[in-house]
Chain A
Amino acid sequence: MSVPILNASGCLDALVAPDVARSLDAFVTKTVTPLPREGNPPPRIAEADGWMLNSIGLQNPGIDQFCGDVFHRLCDLEVPLWVSVGGFSASDYRVCCERVDELEAVQVIELNLSCPNVDEAPETIAELVQASRAATEKPLYAKLSPASADIAEVARAVADAGVDGLSLVNTLRGLFLDPVSLRPRLALGPGGASGPALRPIALASVYACANAVELPIVGMGGVNSGQGALDLVAVGASAIALGTVLFSDPFAADRVRDELEGEGGSRGFGSAAEMGRIAHVSA
């Protein structure tokens, strides 16, 4: 049994890079909101100190165009499809889940509950999940921020509200300054920080949540190698998502998959999946 490898939402457009999407075990869409969004003004990305910073602001065509057009073109790719949905109120999440629920080919709805670049909904995360749960029978995964004071507590709350899995983790809010002008490098100031530096934070989050709830976890955050993927499997992830690495290495999924199986084999295990949760077992 191999560990499925997905993309992190927002890190791949399958319609312009179909071969990259086909290298994945499932494609996760960029977050869709009820209304179209132009997103945040540029500059939207920067790199410094081993981190990437982005502030895209959920640019997307809105749920009508997604369901009426984008979805059908995604189906033509014949890649298992997860749809990420988001919004600014419980009603937004309900509307998106109701619409995506009608799309038979969608395997999972991922609830983006943690975008660092847009305003948060006024409701609690549990209320957003309850509204989504009432709107669909499809499996729901909650994408959480590692910035919570106690992410295990958030995991328990979304589990109680009815999610079927967790996607851990989203980016962390960060800020880069231009070294000369000392002004923010992104147009809106802060953005979501990602890249290999996020790995220990993702590991700690998956480790805590795997202890707290009995839910499958898609682990992500700075994975760029089989070793990075194996670490997340060891703390409790049953699938891995690749994000920032796809920008420099579009076909990283093939490489990480091979490396991951090699990492398992070199430790005397038949597959990396057999090493699941091993970090929780006393040595």
Chain B
Amino acid sequence: MSVRGTEWIGPYVLLRLERGGLEPGTPGQFFMLEAPGRLLPRPMSLCLAPAGELGFLLEPVGAGTRALAELRAGDGIHVLGPLGNGFDLEVARPLLVAGGIGIAPMPYLSEALGEPPALLGFRSERHAEAARLLTGAEVVVEPRFVTELLPEDPGDVMACGPEPMLEAIRELVPAAQLAWEAPMACGYGACYGCVLEVGGHYVRLCVDGPVL
């Protein structure tokens, strides 16, 4: 797929690709993006899906995400997807909750659900610049956490973020739909690398998740 461009949003990078023949899929599904010069592709959930385009929000923290952030308009990368199981959109009272780069799937999810309320948590004001991707979101910055903002009756929580945040939400809202993350080699069930323990068994996030 051809790169249309990149844009910095605080410490994050929005990577925009030509959509080509790829479907955007369900919010929460992910794509494997070739990271130039690296052996393995990197899993990224879809952030934005304007006509003819796929937008991915990434945080350049390692060699693979840095290589993706350095792509320029006109560069080409291989893309596989959409993969995995996204969010169940048949919910009555959606509440989106995200922490840090866990905001990545939320703009596309918000659009699909008609811009429901959202709670976003970030580690700094600079990271919180990404909140502009979501209209009307309530934002907290550490040392405050999104879990402090959860109402007593939170409705249908749909969350993505760091593991401790997801585990805290699972404690508070057992029925919440949680989008997990793990290092992945393949994204299509081949490598058994991306497991998460569920009910005493390891399940592959790429084919059984990433939304569980």
Contact = CB atoms under 8 A, between A and B. Distances in A.
A246 B186 contact: yes
A140 to B, nearest CB: 25
A56 interface: yes
Contacts of B41: 247-248
B191 A42 contact: no
A45 interface: yes
B183 interface: yes
B193 interface: yes
B149 to A, nearest CB: 29
B202 A54 contact: no
Contact of B207 (A12, A16, A30): A16
Contacts of B186: 246-248, 250
A39 B185 CA distance: 17
Contacts of B34: 248
B189 interface: yes
B207 A45 contact: no
A56 B182 CA distance: 14
Contacts, number: 91
Main secondary structure on A side of the interface with B: loop
A10 interface: yes
B189 A16 contact: yes
Given A17-B188, A38-B202, A250-B188, A44 B193 contact: yes
A17 B188 CA distance: 7
B196 A247 contact: no
A272 to B, nearest CB: 25
A38 B204 CA distance: 11
A13 interface: yes
Given A43-B183, A47-B39, A52-B39, A247 B190 contact: yes
B191 A54 contact: yes
Given A43-B183, A45-B183, A196-B39, A54 B78 contact: no
Interface in A7-42: 10-13, 16-17, 20, 30, 38-39, 41-42
B195 A248 contact: no
Nearest to B191: A247
A271 interface: no
B44 interface: no
A247 B40 contact: yes
A154 interface: no
Contacts of A42: 182-183, 193-196, 202
B25 to A, nearest CB: 17
B39 to A, nearest CB: 5
A17 B189 contact: yes
Given A43-B183, A248-B39, A248-B41, A13 B190 contact: yes
A51 B183 CA distance: 15
Contacts of A30: 192
Interface in B63-84: 63-64, 78, 80
A59 B196 CA distance: 13
B207 to A, nearest CB: 5
A52 B40 CA distance: 8
A238 interface: no
Given A38-B202, A196-B39, A250-B80, A52 B185 contact: yes
Given A45-B191, A51-B39, A59-B195, A247 B182 contact: no
A208 to B, nearest CB: 26
Given A45-B185, A250-B186, A39 B40 contact: no
6 nearest A-B residue pairs (beta carbon): A45-B193, A16-B189, A247-B186, A247-B185, A56-B192, A13-B189
22 contacts: A12-B190, A13-B189, A13-B190, A13-B192, A17-B189, A30-B192, A42-B195, A42-B202, A44-B195, A47-B39, A47-B40, A47-B64, A51-B39, A52-B39, A195-B39, A244-B39, A244-B40, A246-B190, A247-B41, A248-B41, A249-B78, A250-B188
Given A54-B191, A244-B40, A248-B41, 17 more contacts: A11-B190, A13-B189, A13-B190, A17-B189, A17-B190, A38-B202, A39-B192, A42-B183, A43-B183, A44-B183, A45-B191, A45-B193, A45-B194, A52-B39, A56-B192, A196-B39, A247-B190
Interface of A: 10-13, 16-17, 20, 30, 38-39, 41-48, 50-52, 54, 56, 59, 195-196, 244, 246-250
